[in-house]
Amino acid sequence: MKQLRGFKYRFYPTDSQRLELAQTFGCTRFVYNWALALRTNSYYQDNVSLTGDINCAGNPRRRALSYTDTSKALTKLKKDPEKPWLKQVSAVPLQQGLRHLNTAFQNFFKGKTKYPRFKKKANRQSAHYAPNAFKWVEGKLTLAKMSQPLKIKWSRYFTGEPKSITVSKDPSNRYFVSFLVEEELDGWQPSTEEVGIDLGIKDVVVCSNGFASGNPKHYQKYQARLKTLQRRLAKKKKGSNNRYKARLKIAKLHAKISDCRKDFLHKLSTKLVSENQAIYTETLAVKNMMANHKLAKAIADCGWGEFLRQLEYKAKWHDRKIGAIDRWFPSSKRCNPCGHILDKLPLDVREWTCPSCNSVNLRDENAALNILAVGQTVFACGLS
């Protein structure tokens, strides 16, 4: 079965390529922010209609701008004599920026995300290239407006032609290129196992079969070092070269923490998907849980959202089943052997004895068993 997959690699640009990429990132960011301001302001301005529409009273009609409207406005903007630098970069990343903004608005109106925000130079920079804006010949990638191919560090290889690429630069000054490729996946052997998983802080994942993942606590491991670097940064003069170098050290440490966390979650999600045909999880309101300031840092360090995202797409790739039970189901307070439900169960109680059947329940493993039982009942996941 063919699936679209992403392959991300680090690359090392030459000095001239670094300058060209900086210009492309800057223009892409400018166009995105300009279009966001245009779409926002045009809706609230009185007596102004950038689309030329009028209502039955002869007044300009207030209407949200579309991607087509901003694309036409961009064509006019590039003719502005005060902005000749917009013509010095490939037009494709600029148009792709408008498409990404349009997608952001669509997701906002569907209730999936918040209102689009302006992009900042200090954050991750990126530019998206369609097939007509790069050349892929014998494993060498050359971007539009560039004369030399990128020096890519190949950690693995893919088959097929790239359908699109994204070039990015993170706050720690590392450059990456991501390929979107349609590939034939090697199917995993069907399994007869089903598992329920409980997400927690002591162990990121506890399974109904007794497996506990542990919690490496990547942020906590480097927290003291991060605190030292942030104190040094606070003493540097704003705008100085020393402040820039101090900020870069902090960004590199944050990147290391993020890389370690993602590596752990990828290995964990791959293990669960490869060993089980059906996986049942709990539905978590992570945003509400983060309101607990005593646990917010530990919850963020676990990366539950990223873990569930990885589970979902890997299960789809390999024809596995994923089910999420109702968020209000009392998985921890319900005794799995007899079904008795406690009135309350404080968070610090990790083991409890059922007053009905006297069975001793480990909090997380008991919750995982309940999630498995409810998942099998509700979703009726028939294995072939």
User: Would you please indicate which residues are annotated as catalytic (active-site) residues?
Assistant: 198, 282, 364
DSSP state of 210: S
As a residue count, the chain comes to 384
Q: What is the spatial distance between Cα 280 and Cα 323, in angstroms, rounded to a whole number?
A: 5
Q: Are 40 and 62 in contact (CB under 8 A)?
A: no
Residue in this structure with the two tokens 């540097």, named with its chain if needed: 236
Terminal-residue alpha carbon distance, the chain: 18
The token duo for 216 is 């490496």
Q: Are 336 and 366 in contact (CB under 8 A)?
A: yes
- Return d(Cα 22, Cα 145) in angstroms, integer: 13
Helix (H, G, I), strand (E, B) or coil at 126: strand
Rounded to 5 degrees, φ, ψ at 338 are -115, -15
Comparing CA positions, the residue from 131, 130, 179 lying closest to residue 159 is: 179
Decide if 96 contacts 165 (C-beta within 8 A): no
Outline where the chain has alpha helix (H): 15-44, 67-77, 91-109, 218-234, 241-275, 286-289, 296-302, 304-317, 363-379
Question: Reduced to 3 states, what is the DSSP secondary structure of residue 60?
Answer: strand
Q: Which amino acid is at 66?
A: S
Number of H helices, E strands in the chain: 9, 13
Element (H, E) at 143: strand 140-143
Largest CA distance in the chain: 81
- Contacts of 112-120 with CB under 8 Å at 24 or more apart are 116/36, 118/33, 118/36, 118/37, 119/29, 119/32, 119/33
